[in-house]
Each structure stands twice: as C-alpha cells, then as structure tokens.
Structure 1
Amino acid sequence: MGKLALHWKIIIGLILGVVWALISSKLGWSSFTINWIAPFGTIFINLLKLIAVPLVLFSIINGVAGIGDPSSLGRMGGKTLLAYLVTTVLAVALGLTLVNVVGPGKLVDQESRIDNRISYELWAQEQGLEIKDGVNYLQDPAFLERAGRISELVKASPEDASVSEKMKTANATKEAGPLQPLVDLVPQNLFKSLTDNGLMLQIIFFAIFFGVCLLFIPSEKSAPVIKIVDSIMEVFLKMVDFVMQASPFFVFALLAGVISKMAGDDIGKVVEIFKGLSWYSLTVFLGLVLMIFVMYPLILKLLVRVIPYKGFFKAMGLAQTTAFSTSSSAATLPVTMECVEDNLGVDKKITSFVLPIGATVNMDGTVLYQAVAVVFLAQLHMIDLTIGQQLTIVLTATLASIGSAAVPSAGLVMLIIVLGSVDLNPAWIAIIFPVDRILDMCRTVVNVTGDATVSSIIAKGEGMLHYDATKNPDDAFDPEK
C-alpha cells in the first residue's frame, strides 16, 4: 500500500466505505457507523474548509500582486469570467439536450403522470397561473372525481420542513432588488465574511481589492507584505499535504456515513430510492460523465493542445476523488490548486487568481443537473415546456449559478428559482431529494474539472503553462518534499 498512488488509496477508501455501510446496514450496525465512524468524515470536510477560506484570501492577494500590471489583471479577469460563462452555457445546453432526448419523466407509468398533472393544475389554479400548454384535465368531466380525491390528498399532506426552509431562502433571493447581488458582493466586515461559508464572494472581492492596492503603492512598501502573504499561503498548502496523507481513511468514514444515513438498517431503502428515480439519476449522471470525459478534454484539445487526454486525468485524479467524497468545490480547492499547479504546470499567478474564483462562480455540474431536474419534473407532471421556457431555463440557471455560492444548500435553493422562472411548483424539489446527495458528489467532480480546464486555458493564453508529462502527480502531496 505504501507505493500505491494516493488517488488509488482514496478510491479504495470510497469502495470500502460503501461496502462497510451496506454490511453494517445488513447487520443492524448503522447507528454505530453514524455515531463512531461518520464523524471522522465530517472532520475531514471541516479541515479542508478550515484551510480553504484563508487560502482563498491569501492566494488571490498573492496572485493579483504577482501579476504586477493592473491592465494585465483586467485582461485576465475578463478572460476568466468569459471562459467560465461559456462552459456554464455548454453544460446547461447539454443537460437540456439529454433530458429531451431520453425523456426520463415520460418513462413513469401514465396513470401516475395523470395524477401528477391534475395536482399541478390544482396548484396553478391556486396560484393564479396560466397553463401554457393548452391542456386542462380539471375542465374534463371524466376527471372531476379524480381531481377531488387528489385535492383532498394534497391538503392532507404535511409540508416538508426542509423544502419550506429552502423556499423561504429562494423567495428572499428573488424579492431582493436588481442590484442586491452587487451590494452583497461588498463586505461590511471582513471577519464576518471569513467566518460565514456563504460569503466567499465577499472574501474574493476584498482579496482582489487588497491585491490591486498593493500594485499602486511603492515596491519597497508592498514587497514585505507580498512576502508575508506568500509565506502564509505556503503554510496552508503544506497543511493540505499533511491532511491528504490521511484522506483515504477520512473518505472511508465519509462514504460510510452518507450511505448509512440513507439506508438506516434497511439496504432496500437505497435500492428503492434509486429504482424510483433511476432514469432521472442516469440522465444526470450521463450528462456529468460527458462533461468530464468528452466536453472538457475536447476544449483542452482545441485550445491548449499540450496536455494529453490521459495526462489530464492522471494530473487531476486526486482533486476529482476528493471532490466526489466531500461534495464541496470550496473544500476541494486546496487540493485542486496543488494538482493544477504542480501536475498540470499552471503558473501560481494563474492558479491563485483563477481557481478561487472558479470554486465560487463556476458551477457547470450544478447547472447541468438543474436543467435536467426542471425538465424531468415537468415531464413527470405531463407538462410540455416551450422552446422559450427552455431558453429561460438556460438564462436563469446560468445567472443563478454565479450567485449560488452566496446561499446555503446552493444547488437546491437555486433549483427553486429556476422552477419558478417557468411557473412550476418549487415544492417539487422534494421529489428528487432522495438522490440529491449522491448526484451532488458527482456534479462537484464536474465543477472541479471545469475549474482546472479554464485555468489551463488562461495559462496557455498568458504563456504561463509548463506541463511536464514526466512528473509524478503524487509528489505534490508529499509532506517531506
């Protein structure tokens, strides 16, 4: 095991975690797993987040100050945001294409879909919304009795507390003024921003502002500050090295906890969850796989050229497995930075600036999942979305992804907003709740891979890419190096 590459050790930890969770569920040990093993997975995420926030602050300051020329900073910033916007639009377009071709919601039995359609029409009637596809079961006498029965069932159903909480957050986001995102970008108190995980954009704003100011003061005064910032950043990167040595065990604990919480002492629960949402889950998964293994390598082939297909995945393997296990781009950021810098050969000036921004605003996996989820839920309720409504999904999902890091449970909260943009019931997110955690792990891998792709493109354009095919990726995470 000592000579085995670290990312393979993490994959073994992932597999063993799933196997242990299934065995403990079968033997009735789930509560032991949740109480005595799962907490180590939480510790792992906490450690990475502990490192990630200050690392974002100091790495961006270091990256901006290292650019040296304010005009270069503006050019690089523009390229970065444009590249992230393009990959986001590609992701949501791919998601819409797949869900329309596969039609996962149409594969559910017809009677269930008719019931769903009637419940949608009742909700639309209550909300005073116009039904745009021209179908109305409530006006058909043949469905009058059925509509009455479904209406009673809807009234008797208790409100899901978690859905209600996310809807309140989404409503607050929608009701804010048009310039509220700009207001939220500027922190009142840096220390409050540093202690609140949802305020990463404020940290980025302060870091860029601080770094730009360093460029406009005499070098004899800025040099000591830059040296201190660079040294602090190196300390945090070394902390990542040490944490990653124990990551296979932490990942084992994390996966064991996730599966145990889903299954309890009944393995059948997990099977039933995925059976019921199988076509939806497969469609999302297929889209995410195509983004990782086709779309990003194609972009690299066209725009970067020097990084080979296998070389890219060998370089990013550790960041991708960490992203899968943590379900957090921010928590994975320290690992992503080292993989991109040390394995792909992207200059520190690029990684320090592009990757922290990407971890906050680049949500390719999230927007792809949102596109699939919205159309799937519409299909499930026998609603035919028009081309105009699907273009609205593209626009809303793209804009929502930029601000999604500023709210808790970002993906599901933003999904509520996207559903609302095409007049669908936001409470439907409860339907896809059961498989959200596993799919979240997969879409985080897409987000991290997208960040690495964009940073490679920017580095190539700036002449700061020095890929070395002979370098061993695991050397980046050796605390003794």
Structure 2
Amino acid sequence: MLFRTSRIHAAAATALSKVSGKGRAITATLYIGALIVGSLIGFAGNTDINAVMDFIATVFTRLFSFIAVPIIAVSLISTLANLSKNSKGGSIFAHTIFYTLLTTILAALLGAVLFAVIKPANVPAALSSSAADVVTKYESLSYLEHIQNIIPNNLLQPFVAGNVLSILLVAAAFGLGIATMKESKNKEALISVISGFQELLFILIHWLINILPLGIMAFTAQLVTQLEAGIILGGLATYFGVVISSNLIQMFVILPLILLLKGLNPIKIARGMLPALAVALFSKSSAGTLPVTMASAEDNLHVDRRVSRFVLPICTTINMNGCAAFILITSVYLLQNAGIEIGFSTLLTWVFIATFAAVGNAGVPMGCYFLTLSLVSSMNIPVTLMGIILPVYAVIDMIETSLNVWSDSCVANIVNKTMQGKLPEEA
C-alpha cells in the first residue's frame, strides 16, 4: 500500500510534530540568546575564542552538508517511487514548477525595475590589479560547460562533488524507474530500505536542530568578526543598495502578498520556518539548509511529508529568487560599466536570461557569484568588475540564501494547501 507508515515512524512523527507555543517561545529565546552571545564574542575580538567559533561553525557547515546530499536524493527517490499514476504526483510537480517560475520571474522583474529607477552609478575606470586577478581564473569558464557538468559520468561523482543538480537528476531517474517497476517483493523491499534510510536521516536532522543554537552562536561570532574587518562599498554603494533592496522587497512584500492571496498567513509561516531561515542566513547555502527546511515545514507547519519531501528538494535546486535578482542586476551593471546603454529591451531580455540561469544554479555558498561570472564571461562581457563586487558579496549571499529558503518555504506551503484533500490517506 502506498505511503505505509511503520509503528516506529508513527511514534516518531507524533513526538516530533505539533510543537507547542511554549516550546516555540523557548526555541526563539535560545536563538536570540545565541545571536546576542555570538555578537558579543565577535566584537570582543579574542583570537583564541574566535578560532573556537570558526571551528564550531565549520563543523556545523560540514554536518549540514553531510546530511543535505543524501536527503536530497533519498527524499526525491522515495517520493517518486511511491507515486502511482493514479496519485497526484503530477499535480504536485506542476504546481511546484509554476510557483517556482512565478516567484523567480517576479524577483528578476523587481530587480530590473529597481535598477531602472535607482540607476546605480558606475565604478571609476581605474580598477586595481587585485580585482582583475580575482576573476582571471574564472573568465575561461563557459556557461555551456556549467550545464554540461550537470550530466554525471558515473554514479558516485555527483555525491562526492556535491553537485546538487546532478544529484537531483540521478534521484529523479531512480525514483521514476522504481515507480515503473512491476509490483513485486523486490520493489517493495527496495522502497522499504529507501524509506527506512530517509527516516534515519530525519532523526539525525532533529538531533542537529536540538543543538542549533550553538551553531548560530558560532556563525554570528564569525560574521561579526568578518564585518569588523571592514567592507568598503565606495562606488558600489548604489549597486549594493539595488541588490539588497530587491531581495528585501521580494522577501517582505512580494512573497507575503502571494501567500495572502492563497489564504495563508505569512507571519505564521515565517515563525514556523525560523530555524531554517536562521541556518540559511549564516550558512549561505540553501542546499545545506534543506534538512532544517524540511523538518521545520513538517514539524512546525504540518506540511504533508509527501509534499515537503518532494517539493523542497526540487525548490532548493531550482527556486533561486535571490540569485535571479543578483544575476540580472550584476550583469546589467557590468554592461553599463562597459559603456553599453541600458534600455527597456535590454532589461526585459535579462529578466528571462536571469530567470533561467538562476534555475540552473547550485544552492551552495557563492554559487550565484560564480554562475554569474561564467555566464557573463561566456557572453564576452568584461568581468573584471566582479573582483570589486566580491568583498560585498558575503553580505549579499547571506540575504540571497535567506530569500531562497523563504521562497522555497512559501512554495511548499502553497502546494500543500492546494493539495489538501486531494492526496490519498496514509496507512
């Protein structure tokens, strides 16, 4: 029977779901306390303590990455394998793609509008040699090569390299292959093993969430230390303002409006997704945040696990609102600095280029930066300015990743509400 649930899983689901208001308040207090302590440690500037904070932050980053890679594959394989032709798998996928493209296009369009209105000033022509050196080794990258690298040449390569798009492709192929197998003991055993492994991963995820305040403290201390070193905006102030403004408006205005139109409470959803948003902000990796995103959606907002474990791995890979805005604004800014006049047709063209380029981005730290660099260099656009943008990208990357995870959360909750009453009952 589809989506059968063992007694062990039922007990675990009961224990891990329906977090009380008091429990959420305690969790929020711990997060706030971690932020305060981490900030104080960062401002103190003690070298030895900062080294410990860097160590803890690195450990957490590695642990989330360790779990994220298999959870993407296992969740998608398990969901697709359990979807029969009579189920609503096709409908879930269609709604996921629709809202992913909708939110991503809106993000790119918003970036274009803000660029046209604010008109960021050009950077002085004299670029430091160090800025040129930063991008030299990336200028030869081809965007077509980036797409080509999605196709794996062996089974283990995507998992070893952490190539999220390749993992998604392999998982989709395996999941659909299992779904088309004839009903047999072998198929049932295969699905049982995959489902069991999935539940094991979620137990590990919840263990990590329990000690998450320690990680947030370390991430905060690390960030404050980096910011104290100083970020010089100079002529990039208006460019920086356009990128950040587009992300914040998308985060606090556009996406909440979409939720309200669908009859959902954005404040309630934001509160439930707080652990994921916190991890996204500091880890700067939507793929690395995926385990917390899935757990938050299921435990705090009671999103159907068949929806969350299908929608969120896909969204983490292709739903890049922040990246779409960055690609458009940065690419057009590079064109403007190269002396090319930016008109309506140029901005409109880049809305679509940025949207589809963002879909191909990997949800890893600085993934959008290097994707943009390879994209514009393949179009023979001068890219030396990317070296000057790099010092401010750390802050941009944090906000972008938070926006990406917030958008993923919105899409998952919208699809979940759309599919209510349409999915078969779980046994």
Unpaired runs of 5+ residues, structure 1, are 107-112, 120-149, 467-481
Residue 20, structure 1, aligned to residue 36, structure 2: no
Q: Which residue of 1 aligns with 2:18?
A: none
CA offsets, 1:304-342, max 9 Å, x none? Answer: x1x323211111111111110111001110011011222
CA offsets, 1:218-249, max 9 Å, x none? Answer: 15332222222222111111111111222222
Distance (Å, rounded) in 1 between the aligned partners of 2:369 and 2:269:
31
Structure 1 residue 78 displacement after superposition: 3.3
Contact 1:88 1:363 in 2 (8 A): yes
Look up the equivalent residue of 1:230 and give its one-letter code.
S
Look up the equivalent residue of 1:167 and give its one-letter code.
E
SS of equivalent residue, structure 1 residue 404: coil
Distance (Å, rounded) in 2 between the aligned partners of 1:379 and 1:19:
41
Between structure 1 and structure 2, the one with the greater Rg is 1
Structure 1 residue 279 displacement after superposition: 3.3
Residue 460, structure 1, aligned to residue 424, structure 2: no
Residue 5, structure 1, aligned to residue 5, structure 2: no
Contact 2:120 2:239 in 1 (8 A): yes
Structure 1 residue 193 displacement after superposition: 1.3
Contact 1:333 1:356 in 2 (8 A): yes
SS of equivalent residue, structure 2 residue 152: coil
Contact 2:142 2:377 in 1 (8 A): no
Q: 1:255 aligns with which of 202, 206, 220?
A: 220
Structure 1 residue 381 displacement after superposition: 6.5
- How many residues in Structure 1 have an aligned counterpart in Structure 2? 401
Look up the equivalent residue of 1:316 and give its one-letter code.
M
Structure 1 residue 86 displacement after superposition: 1.6
Look up the equivalent residue of 1:353 and give its one-letter code.
F
Inter-CA distance 458–309: structure 2 relative to 1 (3 Å threshold) = closer
Inter-CA distance 59–438: structure 2 relative to 1 (3 Å threshold) = same
Residue 297, structure 1, aligned to residue 256, structure 2: yes
Residue 440, structure 1, aligned to residue 412, structure 2: no
Q: State, as a whole percentage, how many aligned pairs show the same letter.
A: 28
Q: 2:160 aligns with which of 191, 195, 199?
A: 195
Inter-CA distance 406–299: structure 2 relative to 1 (3 Å threshold) = closer
Distance (Å, rounded) in 1 between the aligned partners of 2:86 and 2:53:
49
Distance (Å, rounded) in 1 between the aligned partners of 2:183 and 2:155:
25
Contact 2:276 2:296 in 1 (8 A): yes
Q: 2:179 aligns with which of 215, 234, 244?
A: 215
Structure 1 residue 440 displacement after superposition: 0.6
Q: Which residue of 1 aligns with 2:19?
A: none
Residue 81, structure 1, aligned to residue 97, structure 2: yes
Distance (Å, rounded) in 2 between the aligned partners of 1:252 and 1:104:
35
Q: Which residue of 1 aligns with 2:346?
A: 389
Inter-CA distance 165–32: structure 2 relative to 1 (3 Å threshold) = farther
Distance (Å, rounded) in 2 between the aligned partners of 1:444 and 1:416:
18
CA offsets, 1:80-110, max 9 Å, x none? Answer: 223211211110001111122222327xxxx
Inter-CA distance 391–419: structure 2 relative to 1 (3 Å threshold) = farther
Q: 1:206 aligns with which of 170, 183, 205?
A: 170
Structure 1 residue 373 displacement after superposition: 2.8
Equivalences for residues 292-371 of structure 1 within 5 A: 292-303=251-262, 305=263, 307-371=264-328
Distance (Å, rounded) in 1 between the aligned partners of 2:295 and 2:24:
20
Contact 2:92 2:415 in 1 (8 A): yes
SS of equivalent residue, structure 1 residue 187: coil
Q: Which residue of 2 aligns with 1:230?
A: 195
Q: Which residue of 2 aligns with 1:173?
A: 143
Unpaired runs of 5+ residues, structure 2, are 1-21
SS of equivalent residue, structure 2 residue 302: coil
Look up the equivalent residue of 1:452 and give its one-letter code.
S
CA offsets, 1:113-132, max 9 Å, x none? Answer: 6xx3xx4xxxxxxxxxxxxx
4+ runs deviating over 6 angstroms: none
Residue 101, structure 1, aligned to residue 117, structure 2: yes
Structure 1 residue 390 displacement after superposition: 1.4
Distance (Å, rounded) in 2 between the aligned partners of 1:465 and 1:341:
18
Inter-CA distance 10–276: structure 2 relative to 1 (3 Å threshold) = farther
Look up the equivalent residue of 2:238 and give its one-letter code.
W
Structure 1 residue 191 displacement after superposition: 1.6
Equivalences for residues 63-142 of structure 1 within 5 A: 63-69=79-85, 72-105=88-121, 116=124, 119=125
Structure 1 residue 376 displacement after superposition: 4.2
- Aligned-residue Cα RMSD (Å) equals 2.9
Structure 1 residue 4 displacement after superposition: 4.6
SS of equivalent residue, structure 1 residue 425: coil
Distance (Å, rounded) in 1 between the aligned partners of 2:259 and 2:130:
50
Q: Which residue of 2 aligns with 1:110?
A: none
Structure 1 residue 203 displacement after superposition: 1.6
Structure 1 residue 382 displacement after superposition: 6.4
Look up the equivalent residue of 2:42 and give its one-letter code.
A
Contact 1:70 1:212 in 2 (8 A): no
SS of equivalent residue, structure 2 residue 360: helix
More helix by share: 1
Residue 162, structure 1, aligned to residue 178, structure 2: no
Contact 1:56 1:356 in 2 (8 A): yes
TM-score, normalised to structure 2, is 0.84
Inter-CA distance 35–167: structure 2 relative to 1 (3 Å threshold) = farther
